Chain A
Amino acid sequence: MSWYKPADLGLGVRRQLAGLGYGARLFGRLLATLLPALRRFALVRDQIHFLGNYSLAIIAVSGLFVGFVFGLQGYYTLQRYGSSEALGLLVTLSLVRELGPVVTALLFAGRAGTSLTAEIGLMKAGEQISVMEMMAVDPVQRILAPRFWAGVITMPLLAAVFSAMGIIGGWVVGVLMIGVDAGSFWSQIQGGVDVWKDVGNGVIKSIVFGFTVTFVALLQGYGAQPTPEGVASATTRTVVVASLAVLGLDFILTAMMFTI
């Protein structure tokens, strides 16, 4: 492998471009089938159950522990400036604006994204996608679209669970264990969190992340080489690509949302 050979470089660039083109075409086909797919809501409902339910435990536990850590670290920093009663506000804003959507998306990519990629990749390897096409059933509409809807719908709900568990975690450490005043903990949250600017933007973020992670997972699965190795490497790529996309998008969204 020598990247400086012009021919190899050109081949690499062409492969990347072909990959982007494949992704864009699949995205177009997916968009065209999204509304028809909603007519069979039972399929979407099953996927919401599958993706949401099985991710719930990891999301809730992670949220709780992130809240614990935030309660501790936040308290140590805030008490230096004698403002430890703002702990509730600090924990809540960090979670609702940033950590809730971002960490949920990363965990979702690892838990649900990989299972989507593996499931679709194995269907492809087992010729189940081909057999569906031969039955005149469009696999994009029958397989991909319900899963896409489920990801987009599930992600904000999971992010909300994550943030709520995180706030509870912060309360457990800050109020119950360290002894921050419970009244100021909660009233600071009530007074300082704006429904639209903070919570609303966090929800928008999690919808965008749900869109991104789910599409990456579906694309990797649908485009996987139909072999065991191909499915394995597609699953890995789902985590890498989805995580990087989430972190990059988060920076862009934050810059757009929270600049005065």
Chain B
Amino acid sequence: MAASPSESLVELRHLTFGYGDRVILDDVSLVVPRGKVTALMGASGGGKTTILRLIGGQNRAQSGQTLFDGQDIGPMNQRDLYAARRRMGMLFQFGALFADLSVFENVAFPLREHTDLPEPLIRDIVLMKLNAVGLRGARDLMPSDLSGGMARRIALARAIALDPELVMYDEPFSGLDPISLGTAARLIRQLNDSMGLTSIFVSHELEQTFAIADHVIILANGKIATQGTPGQVRQSTDPLVYQYVNALPDGPVRFHYPGPSVADDFGVAAS
């Protein structure tokens, strides 16, 4: 590692990614500042989750670089990729807890897989992580007994079990009631500051996102529409960002899926 860590933990350079002919990300460059909470926003299908998957090395870009602490994730072999992933934690949208393991064993899983720690120490670490998400008392429950918000908090405890440097949250707020939503937002902020993490989260929820994020990136149509502090983004005059921040149905982000024109489809002569 470099003697003086650079400002950014993650950096995307001219990244292009798509499935077949459909381009998801078109020449995207962005920077995730170290130690900060970064929010990725934008319309559904806009490539936000794809960016997380690219940083995690689950998808490979067609062109461009995905730098994690200065190393390009894209061309890595499995060994290097797994070494890089041990420094990341990822929270999936619905938690993705192992259904056949108890809450305790779910959080203990990465510790058991990657360390030879004695059982009492594993117990202490697991309970500390569960305590951090407020669910120390739920250690003996099975995933099927948990509500959606609880499952995500357990998954968060599991994601931070090995003290990663980067934590990625894929839509941590979707489908939560207002209380759980507020809890989740506060947790992201608290964990980031108390553990010295760098956090990236994908969100559709404007109010909470602007309240906790240091840096907001809004994607639209495969490109970055704007980025900056929540205040800067809110005052942006860009029509895309204006549409998004004010939740307007139509604007630069199209209401209609691209297809033949109305005149062609309904046999009306274009006048």
Hey, which chain A residues are within 8 Å of B96, CB to CB? Answer: 126-128, 130-131
Please determine whether B99 and A134 come into contact, CB atoms closer than 8 angstroms: no
Please determine whether B109 and A135 come into contact, CB atoms closer than 8 angstroms: yes
Partner of A138, one of B82, B98, B109: B82
CA distance A205 to B127 in the complex (A): 49
Within 8 A of B (CB), among A80-137: 122-123, 126-128, 130-131, 133-137
Please determine whether A126 and B82 come into contact, CB atoms closer than 8 angstroms: no
Within 8 A of A (CB), among B81-113: 81-83, 85-86, 88-90, 92-94, 96-99, 109-110, 113
Hey, which chain A residues are within 8 Å of B92, CB to CB? Answer: 127, 130-131
Hey, which chain A residues are within 8 Å of B90, CB to CB? Answer: 131, 134
Please determine whether B99 and A135 come into contact, CB atoms closer than 8 angstroms: no
* B58 lies within 8 A of chain A by Cβ: yes
Contact string against A for B residues 15-41, beta-carbon threshold 8 Å, 1 for contact and 0 otherwise: 000000000000000000000000000
Please determine whether A134 and B58 come into contact, CB atoms closer than 8 angstroms: yes
Hey, which chain A residues are within 8 Å of B155, CB to CB? Answer: 131
* A45 lies within 8 A of chain B by Cβ: no
**Residues of A contacting B: mostly:** helix
* Contact A142-B94, Cβ < 8 Å, known A136-B82, A136-B86: no
Please determine whether A135 and B94 come into contact, CB atoms closer than 8 angstroms: no
Please determine whether B58 and A130 come into contact, CB atoms closer than 8 angstroms: yes
Please determine whether A136 and B99 come into contact, CB atoms closer than 8 angstroms: no
Contact string against A for B residues 146-188, beta-carbon threshold 8 Å, 1 for contact and 0 otherwise: 0000000001000000000000000000000000000000000
Please determine whether A135 and B110 come into contact, CB atoms closer than 8 angstroms: yes
Nearest CB on A from B163, distance (A)? 13
Hey, which chain B residues are within 8 Å of A126, CB to CB? Answer: 94, 96, 99
CA distance A234 to B177 in the complex (A): 36
* B114 lies within 8 A of chain A by Cβ: yes
Partner of B56, one of A123, A134, A142: A134
Contact string against A for B residues 57-84, beta-carbon threshold 8 Å, 1 for contact and 0 otherwise: 0100000000000000000001001110
**Which size class do A's interface residues fall under?**
10 to 19
Nearest CB on B from A41, distance (A)? 15
Please determine whether B58 and A133 come into contact, CB atoms closer than 8 angstroms: yes
Hey, which chain A residues are within 8 Å of B56, CB to CB? Answer: 134
Partner of B114, one of A123, A127, A128, A136: A136
Please determine whether A136 and B85 come into contact, CB atoms closer than 8 angstroms: yes
CB nearest neighbor in B for A135: B110
Please determine whether A134 and B88 come into contact, CB atoms closer than 8 angstroms: yes
Hey, which chain A residues are within 8 Å of B85, CB to CB? Answer: 133-136
CA distance A134 to B90 in the complex (A): 7
Hey, which chain B residues are within 8 Å of A142, CB to CB? Answer: 113
Which of A123, A135, A138 has the largest count of B CB atoms less than 10 A from its CB? A135
CA distance A136 to B82 in the complex (A): 5
CB nearest neighbor in A for B109: A135
CA distance A128 to B95 in the complex (A): 9
Which of A122, A123, A128, A142 has the largest count of B CB atoms less than 10 A from its CB? A128
Nearest CB on A from B244, distance (A)? 27
* Contact A127-B94, Cβ < 8 Å, known A134-B56, A135-B113: yes
CA distance A258 to B2 in the complex (A): 68
Hey, which chain A residues are within 8 Å of B97, CB to CB? Answer: 128
CA distance A137 to B81 in the complex (A): 11
Hey, which chain B residues are within 8 Å of A127, CB to CB? Answer: 92-94, 96
CB nearest neighbor in A for B53: A130
Hey, which chain A residues are within 8 Å of B81, CB to CB? Answer: 136
Please determine whether A128 and B83 come into contact, CB atoms closer than 8 angstroms: no
Hey, which chain A residues are within 8 Å of B114, CB to CB? Answer: 135-137
Partner of B83, one of A134, A135, A136: A136
Taking A123-B98, A131-B90, A135-B85 as given, write out 15 further A-B residue pairs in contact, using a Cβ cutoff of 8 Å, ordered by the A residue number: A123-B99, A126-B94, A127-B96, A128-B96, A130-B58, A134-B85, A134-B88, A135-B86, A135-B113, A135-B114, A136-B81, A136-B85, A137-B110, A138-B78, A138-B82
List the 8 closest A-B pairs by CB distance, nearest first. Answer: A127-B96, A136-B82, A131-B96, A136-B85, A134-B90, A136-B86, A127-B92, A137-B113
Please give the residue numbers on chain B whose beta carbons come within 8 Å of chain A beta carbons, in ascending order.
56, 58, 78, 81-83, 85-86, 88-90, 92-94, 96-99, 109-110, 113-114, 155
Q: List 5 A-B contacts (CB under 8 A).
A: A126-B99, A127-B93, A128-B98, A135-B113, A137-B110
Please give the residue numbers on chain A whose beta carbons come within 8 Å of chain B beta carbons, in ascending order.
122-123, 126-128, 130-131, 133-138, 142
